[in-house]
């Protein structure tokens, strides 16, 4: 891969390459630039890129969000049980 011109902001092709990369697999030179460039960070976040939509639509992300949802539901349940227990102690 040809090396990028230092200090130059990412073009559309490079933004797509970065957005389409798997986590941890982004081209290091592109990631390095975006890490220090708020302009490119904003463009990356604002960009409506097909690569990102395809990745978000993949069911691979489902178990993680399902696990987070389950953990949250358990926390809420524990809070409710604790509240009921407290009320019972106060009344009993
Ligand atoms: Zn930039």
How far, in Å, from the CA of 27 to the mean position of ligand 1? 15
Closest CA to 43 of 65, 75, 19, 20: 19
How far, in Å, from the CA of 53 to the mean position of ligand 1? 22
Q: Say what the pLDDT of residue 2 is.
A: 55
What band does 44 get if pLDDT is binned at 50, 70 and 90? Answer: confident
How far, in Å, from the CA of 17 to the mean position of ligand 1? 14
> E-strand spans in 1-92?
none
Q: Where exactly are the structural domains of the chain? A: 1-57, 61-92
Per residue in 15-24, pLDDT (tens digit) is 888 888 888 8
CB count within 10 Å of CB 19 equals 18
CB count within 10 Å of CB 34 equals 20
How far, in Å, from the CA of 55 to the mean position of ligand 1? 23
- pLDDT over 60 (residue 74): yes
How far, in Å, from the CA of 66 to the mean position of ligand 1? 35
Buried b (16+ CB within 10 A) or exposed e, 5-16: eeeeebeeebbb
Average pLDDT, the chain: 82
- Any idea what the Cα angle at residue 1 is, between residues 36 and 55, rounded to 5°? 65
């Amino acid at each position: 891969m040809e090396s990028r011109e230092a200090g130059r902001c990412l073009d559309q092709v490079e933004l797509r390459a970065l957005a389409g990369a798997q986590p941890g697999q982004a081209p290091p030179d592109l990631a390095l630039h975006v890490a220090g460039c708020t302009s490119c960070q904003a463009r990356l976040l604002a960009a409506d890129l097909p690569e990102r939509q395809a990745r978000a639509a993949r069911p691979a992300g489902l178990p993680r969000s399902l696990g987070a949802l389950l953990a949250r539901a358990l926390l809420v349940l524990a809070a409710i049980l604790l509240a009921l227990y407290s009320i019972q102690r106060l009344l009993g």
